[in-house]
Chains A and B, each alone.
Chain A
């Protein structure tokens, strides 16, 4: 509570809730906390080659390396993503596609065997970011821009037999530009949840991105896209707008 200079009480406005849509099974709504697993795709890690053993990294990631997609990045359903323009006016952001894991029960120090029992559902996620080759610093300017995360409609976990074996496709302007799979991760769904729960609590409604695919395509201004993951509702992205039009 702050009191303004007129002497009346004016509470600080409540933090904006995520615009992500509510969904139809427990916990029913997203908390607004979204975490992505960096370089969980073994192929993406292999693309870095021997560099992972050199400074500044010195070793491949051991514990899960996570990044945030806070509420300012979240797109409301059907809202167009925003593409940052570089200094030359060239527009393009990496279109990361990931399986999203909707947490259903609080996860703290849980085992791999317990982990899938804490998942409420799965969802298709588009994570847009400015391309970068260096992962030493968190780079929130590249990772967490306004209107850079789109989330589809979740399906209950019981409908997905094996979340670690789902085919994934990225289609831009009607053309399939990327085919990948939720297999081939350093950590599958259960291991990722268990290892994160060693140092922090995942809460109901939190959304965890298993990991975007290696070599994500660029999404440019004016392009629409679709991401498909087997067994889940596809995610349609409206034609992207330039950030400056925001």
Chain B
């Protein structure tokens, strides 16, 4: 029997379904075929701890080097995010009205498939269930230098898009040979490759599992390459990673009370 390699989670007509890709959009577990915009897309798996990497691309490091004091040899820059930060494919993310710089970050998201504690890099890929696409927005106006990047920058409600598909690890030829692209209103703005990661997936799993147990559903957001620009309310931002998927998000003006 052929193994299924892509799965998603959607809400449709008041019920949460798992689904698979279909030529006309998607197919629910019960066989119904729907267009992509007929459903509400959820993150494609039940998300546990969200573990994010900062400054994990050599080119992005150079891009920001004027304001940074880090080098590639430093310890990985790791931070956590809340479940409330998540939003699914075709979702909307709020942009505060009064800020000068809010940018997307197209990232390969690595999903853990079994508990990992003190795992060596050589064995680490066996703990990966699969991959998805993440767009991890940042509002740079709010950067402060205490536990930077601080939560006001990186942990805003609905500002971490995830999806649309969870792609099984064995369906991806080499997770460090994938092109990443971000389009804003159809225009290519960010172009990179996962080959340029400073700390690679097996090394990240070894590093993290040395002090914390990774559990199924935990997700590691592996950082973004250069090419981040300011986006505005109304912009459509599409993050695309070879073999993994194409994640679309639209910005809207933040509601205030």
Q: Report chain A residues within 8 Å CB of B170.
A: 5
Contact status A2-B148, CB under 8 Å: no
With beta carbons under 8 angstroms apart, the residue of B1, B77, B147 that contacts A6 is: B1
Q: Report chain B residues within 8 Å CB of A136.
A: 145-148
Contact status A2-B150, CB under 8 Å: no
Give the distance in Å from the alpha carbon of A109 to the alpha carbon of B166 in the complex: 33
Q: Report chain B residues within 8 Å CB of A66.
A: 147, 150-151, 155
Smallest CB separation, A32 vs chain B (Å): 9
B-contact 0/1 string along A113-129, CB 8 Å cutoff? 00000000000000000
Write the chain B residue with the least CB distance to A68.
B80
Smallest CB separation, B117 vs chain A (Å): 8
Smallest CB separation, B61 vs chain A (Å): 14
Q: Which residues of chain B in 16-62 are interfacial with respect to chain A, using CB atoms and an 8 Å cutoff? A: 18, 45-49, 51
A-contact 0/1 string along B237-248, CB 8 Å cutoff? 000000000000
Is B130 an interface residue, CB under 8 A from the partner? Answer: yes
Contact status A72-B212, CB under 8 Å: yes
Is A214 an interface residue, CB under 8 A from the partner? Answer: no
Q: Report chain A residues within 8 Å CB of B73.
A: none
Give the distance in Å from the alpha carbon of A226 to the alpha carbon of B183 in the complex: 55
Contact status A70-B80, CB under 8 Å: yes
Give the distance in Å from the alpha carbon of A65 to the alpha carbon of B5 in the complex: 40
Tally of contact residues, A, Cβ under 8 A? 54
With beta carbons under 8 angstroms apart, the residue of B145, B149, B166 that contacts A57 is: B145
Tally of contact residues, B, Cβ under 8 A? 55
Contact status B144-A1, CB under 8 Å: no
B-contact 0/1 string along A33-68, CB 8 Å cutoff? 101001100000000000000011111011111111
Is A84 an interface residue, CB under 8 A from the partner? Answer: yes
Is A88 an interface residue, CB under 8 A from the partner? Answer: no
Smallest CB separation, B17 vs chain A (Å): 10
Write the chain B residue with the least CB distance to A15.
B48
Segment among A137-145, A149-157, A233-241 that sits at the interface with chain B:
A137-145
Write the chain A residue with the least CB distance to B142.
A63
Q: Which residues of chain A in 1-41 are interfacial with respect to chain B, using CB atoms and an 8 Å cutoff? A: 1-7, 9, 11-16, 33, 35, 38-39
With beta carbons under 8 angstroms apart, the residue of A15, A16, A108, A145 that contacts B211 is: A145
- Knowing A2-B129, A63-B142, A63-B150 are in contact, say whether A12-B75 is a contact too (CB < 8 A): no
Is B7 an interface residue, CB under 8 A from the partner? Answer: yes
Q: Report chain B residues within 8 Å CB of A160.
A: none
Contact status B49-A71, CB under 8 Å: yes
Q: Report chain B residues within 8 Å CB of A35.
A: 151
Which of A38, A57, A58, A137: most chain B CB closer than 10 A? A137
Contact status B155-A200, CB under 8 Å: yes
Is A176 an interface residue, CB under 8 A from the partner? Answer: no
Q: Report chain A residues within 8 Å CB of B9.
A: 1
Write the chain B residue with the least CB distance to A3.
B4
Give the distance in Å from the alpha carbon of A108 to the alpha carbon of B80 in the complex: 20
Give the distance in Å from the alpha carbon of A172 to the alpha carbon of B250 in the complex: 53
Contact status B46-A12, CB under 8 Å: yes
Contact status A12-B216, CB under 8 Å: yes
Is A203 an interface residue, CB under 8 A from the partner? Answer: yes
- Knowing A58-B145, A70-B49 are in contact, say whether A65-B150 is a contact too (CB < 8 A): yes
Q: Which residues of chain A in 62-104 are interfacial with respect to chain B, using CB atoms and an 8 Å cutoff? A: 62-68, 70-73, 84
Write the chain A residue with the least CB distance to B215.
A16
Give the distance in Å from the alpha carbon of A7 to the alpha carbon of B1 in the complex: 6
Contact status B152-A15, CB under 8 Å: no
Give the distance in Å from the alpha carbon of A201 to the alpha carbon of B45 in the complex: 22
Q: Report chain A residues within 8 Å CB of B69.
A: 55-56
Smallest CB separation, B213 vs chain A (Å): 5
Q: Report chain B residues within 8 Å CB of A68.
A: 79-80, 82
Contact status A135-B146, CB under 8 Å: yes
With beta carbons under 8 angstroms apart, the residue of A57, A61, A140, A146 that contacts B213 is: A146
Write the chain B residue with the least CB distance to A143.
B147
10 inter-chain pairs at a CB distance below 8 angstroms, sorted by A residue, are A2-B4, A2-B7, A12-B111, A15-B47, A15-B215, A65-B147, A136-B145, A138-B147, A146-B117, A200-B152
Which 4 pairs show the lowest CB-CB distances between chains A and B?
A: A7-B1, A15-B48, A3-B4, A68-B80
> What is the interface of chain A, defined by CB distance below 8 A to chain B?
1-7, 9, 11-16, 33, 35, 38-39, 55-59, 61-68, 70-73, 84, 108-109, 135-141, 144-146, 198-201, 203, 246
